[in-house]
Amino acid sequence: MQAALITARETVELLEFAEPAPGDGEAVVRIRYCGVCGTDLHAWQSGALSNPAVCGHEWTGVVAAVGAGVASVREGDRVIGGIAPACGACAACRAGYARDCPNQLASLMTTPHGGFAPAILADARRLTPAPDALDDLEAAMVEPLTVALHATRRTDIRLGDSVLVLGAGPIGLLALQCAKAAGAGRVLVVEPVPERAALALALGADRALDPRAADVAALALDETGGLGPDVVFECAGIPPTIQQAVDLVRRGGAVTLVGLATDPATIIPGTWLSKEVTVVASVAYAHAEFAMAADLIAGGRIAVRPLHTHTAPLDGIADAFALLDGDRRQIKVLIEP
């Protein structure tokens, strides 16, 4: 069986792996779709490789086999890949901090490859049933939605709050919808790519600001009655926008860091201090949030299909990465193994 891995800068290769067979507590899932995450693209662009299991972690498929002791899923079930629940045994869990159990995310990193493959072996506890109301394409978008959902749940948004989202990539477009679902009033999006800005407006943003053509800070003040947004979601994942998020939020407001900036960022601590901002970091998700995200799609409260811009077969994955890198109009690219 062949699976795709990023092996060097701007290089993704099909490598040979044994067909997976389930052990105790495990399941084999035949992959229907696997999305290309921003972290995948950044690894491809830089050559800074992560755990192989993380290369292609936005997958959905059908259970093909289960090992001994698995009762949560059966052969033929449609499932979404995620992370396991809190382990209940580590120091964090024993101290009452199950939400911060480090073994949840660690459970994702236990396979020799990710979902850019015909099949994957997974700890059965990681799997969330895909609701019948979701088709396979929508189920493949649950994982990125769960990232935005987790960030929103970590943020103190009150009914009617003004929200600004920096970056209208997949996570930013989902974060703006989650903010609206959580009760936000006016939602602004900062995005330089016209097609992404237009999609943000179509998905519920009240205004899209082009940072190349406008004084974003002045417009954000004008759009919020001179106050500044109550909440800023940093979804661009680049060093300059971390300080920009704090500059834009109102005094006493909240900034949530969602995008993953891998390079050092320069900040102005005096601004953070004098504005008394609450800064929240949000990484990935919790196991229970996958079912919540799936239900939001199934209930029509979050739209994911408009984000899908391209599908490629497994043997076309190299071209798919190059397309996503070169064409900023692309948003969510899916691989169909």
Active site residues: 39, 42
How far is residue 59 from each of residues 64, 290, 337, measured CA to CA in Å?
15, 12, 11
| 201 SS3 class | helix
* Tokens, residue 145: 């939605």
How far is residue 110 from each of residues 103, 105, 128, 258, measured CA to CA in Å?
11, 10, 18, 24
How far is residue 74 from each of residues 20, 26, 27, 61, 219, measured CA to CA in Å?
16, 11, 9, 13, 53
Closest listed residue to residue 254, CA positions, set 280, 274, 234, 219:
280
| 317 Cβ neighbours under 8 A, 6+ residues apart | 4, 12, 14, 116, 335
Rg of the chain in Å (alpha carbons): 20
Is residue 258 within 8 A of residue 147, CB to CB? The reply is yes
| 202 Cβ neighbours under 8 A, 6+ residues apart | 306
| 314 SS3 class | helix
Cα–Cα dist 225/110, whole Å: 50
